[in-house]
Amino acid sequence: MVKSMTGYGRAEESFNGCTITVELRSVNNRYLDCNIRIPRLYLFAEDAIKSRVQGMISRGKVDVFVTLDSTGADRVQVSVNKPVADGYFAALRQLAQDYGLSGDISVSLLSRFPEVLLAEKAEEDVEQMVKDICCVLDRALVDFDQMRLREGERLKEDILSRAAVIEEKVSSVEQRSPQTVAEYRSKLEARMNEVLSNTQLDPARILTEAAIFADKVAVDEETVRLRSHIGQLREMLARGGATGRKLDFLIQEFNREANTIGSKCSDIEISAQVVDIKAEIEKIREQVQNIE
């Protein structure tokens, strides 16, 4: 199935007093760009998270937010950094002595200085923590993928409806093109009759000029290729998967054929159809930018 590059997913679960929350958010990007936001104490899980994300997502800018709320009191150990505390205490006493200051050096005052109190994470099973985080991540990825699938289905329907419009416009061009040759021949005969007056016209010359014009404005090859591209578009969307980049290249071919048809034809009706075709191609191109 077709997936959008835009999505959001969230999951939360508790393990041994620690609540793990994982959120994923993605937007369009040419390649996969995965950014992980996780507390510094749990950076050891970053590689495992990135590997999981890369296994499911092939394109897009993905932000992964991991938060851990530990309610267990034994998970953080607070200790006094005695060398630093001694240094601050000695400096304060020296300051009081040098400047004749009075006042007690309180615990409250001393504890406010940087690095006096150290909060360290208690020892824990790193491998188990990685498994727990990845377990929640997998649930968030499922939620995230469901949203991408729903959005991808909407994109697919819109693209197919616009492809059908292009097909209708191509049919109009194919019907109108032979008429432009007949009209040119009639105008050519009328013009030559007016110029040459009573002189007998050479039918062969008229046919030759008409044939040259017909060859010049013939768009059969372009319309056939455009129909073929539409067929490929439908096949790729039906097949699904990570087709966004291939679709982007295919739309470039759509534009090339439409531009060629427009440059060959000076007929107002065909030009109007070409403008409509190019407008629909541009809308498809914008939608394809959202597909993984």
Task: Provide the residue type at 193 as one letter.
Answer: N
4 bridge partner residues: 291
Q: Please choose, from the candidates 180, 190, 183, 185, the residue with its C-alpha nearest in 3D space to the C-alpha of residue 208.
A: 185
DSSP, collapsed to helix, strand or coil, labels residue 4 as strand
CA angle, 109 as apex, 104 and 112 as ends, to 5°? Answer: 165
C-alpha count within 13 angstroms, C-beta hemisphere, residue 144? 27
Distance, CA of 103 to CA of 121 (rounded, Å): 35
CA angle, 107 as apex, 106 and 108 as ends, to 5°? Answer: 90
As given in the structure block, the two tokens for residue 40 are: 């510094």
Residue position matching structure tokens 């377990």: 135
Residue position matching structure tokens 């292009």: 166
Distance, CA of 44 to CA of 107 (rounded, Å): 35
Q: Find out whether 181 and 274 touch, Cβ atoms under 8 Å.
A: no
Residue 131: per-residue pLDDT: 94
117 bridge partner residues: 80
As given in the structure block, the two tokens for residue 139 are: 């649930």
The answer on pLDDT for 140 being more than 90 is yes
Q: Which helix (H) or strand (E) holds 69?
A: strand 60-70
Q: What is the pLDDT of residues 202-251, one digit of tens each?
A: 666 656 655 555 555 567 788 899 999 999 999 999 998 889 999 999 99
Residue 121: per-residue pLDDT: 63
C-alpha count within 13 angstroms, C-beta hemisphere, residue 48? 19
Q: Please choose, from the candidates 53, 40, 39, the residue with its C-alpha nearest in 3D space to the C-alpha of residue 9.
A: 53
The answer on pLDDT for 73 being more than 50 is no
Residues ≥6 apart with Cβ < 8 Å to 82 = none
Q: Name the residue ranges covered by the structural domains of the chain.
A: 7-71+124-149, 82-115, 150-288
Residue 165: per-residue pLDDT: 96
CATH for 7-71+124-149, among 1.10.3470, 3.40.190, 2.20.25, 3.30.230? Answer: 3.30.230
Residue 71: per-residue pLDDT: 62
Residue 252: per-residue pLDDT: 95
Q: Find out whether 272 and 255 touch, Cβ atoms under 8 Å.
A: no
Q: What is the dihedral of CA 87, 90, 92, 95, to 10 degrees?
A: -120
Q: What is the pLDDT of residues 163-217, one digit of tens each?
A: 999 999 999 988 887 776 566 555 655 565 555 555 565 666 656 655 555 555 5
The answer on pLDDT for 95 being more than 90 is no
Judged by average pLDDT, the poorest of 157-166, 211-220, 253-262 is: 211-220
From the CB of residue 134, how many other CB atoms can be counted at a distance below 10 Å? Answer: 18
Residue 104: per-residue pLDDT: 82
What's the 3-state SS for 98-163? Answer: HHCCCCCCCHHHHHCCCCCEEEEECCCCHHHHHHHHHHHHHHHHHHHHHHHHHHHHHHHHHHHHHH
Task: Provide the residue type at 214 as one letter.
Answer: A
C-alpha count within 13 angstroms, C-beta hemisphere, residue 126? 9
